[in-house]
Amino acid sequence: SLIKIFFYICFFIYLTIHLVDGCISSRTLREIAQKLFSEDEIFINSTKTEIPKKLTQKKFFESIKICPPEYESTVKCYNGGVVKCKFWNNKIVGIPFCHCSRDYGGQYCDKPLNIAYLVMNKQDTIKQPNDIFEIILLLLFFTSILSFFIYLYLMKRCTAKNNFSLCI
């Protein structure tokens, strides 16, 4: 019965880790962290009955807008595309790019030789990051079961001799 209990404990540990890894994504953790640590206002003396004072922080934000006319860019957009720039606190950062019309679905309105672009890989070449984690988890699972059986064997062998201190 101890073996069954140990097996169930190991199985539930494996199942819990697998579910947490599969269900809680990095996006969910990022959203939780943003909700907890990026509050706009901090209340001081909240135990008093008066209205609390608010401290506000200036938030830095990024935005994507049409590049200003005085900003010279070598990017030429075609088929209804518009040159847009990324702004950070009202300053242009990054490489200008073509924002395409809806008719082209946001693609192929410019010549990709003018800007940096990404090439998609085939679907079968993309590796899942969880494969290595599952292999390591299974190895830990079987190692823990094997060590438990070795422990039971040593306990049975040493208790028969009544000389437990020499076995360990």
Distance separating alpha carbons of residues 85 and 73, to the nearest angstrom: 10
Chain segment 105-158, per-residue pLDDT in tens: 555 565 544 444 444 455 555 555 566 777 788 888 888 888 888 888 877 776
Tokens of 162: 């009544």
Residue with tokens 């924002």, as numbered in its chain:
99
Nearest Cα neighbor of 99 from 118, 77, 121, 128 is 77
Burial label for 137, CB within 10 Å (0-12, 13-18, 19+), is: middle
pTM of the shown model: 0.30
**H/E element, 20:** helix 2-23
Q: What is the pLDDT of residue 59?
A: 59
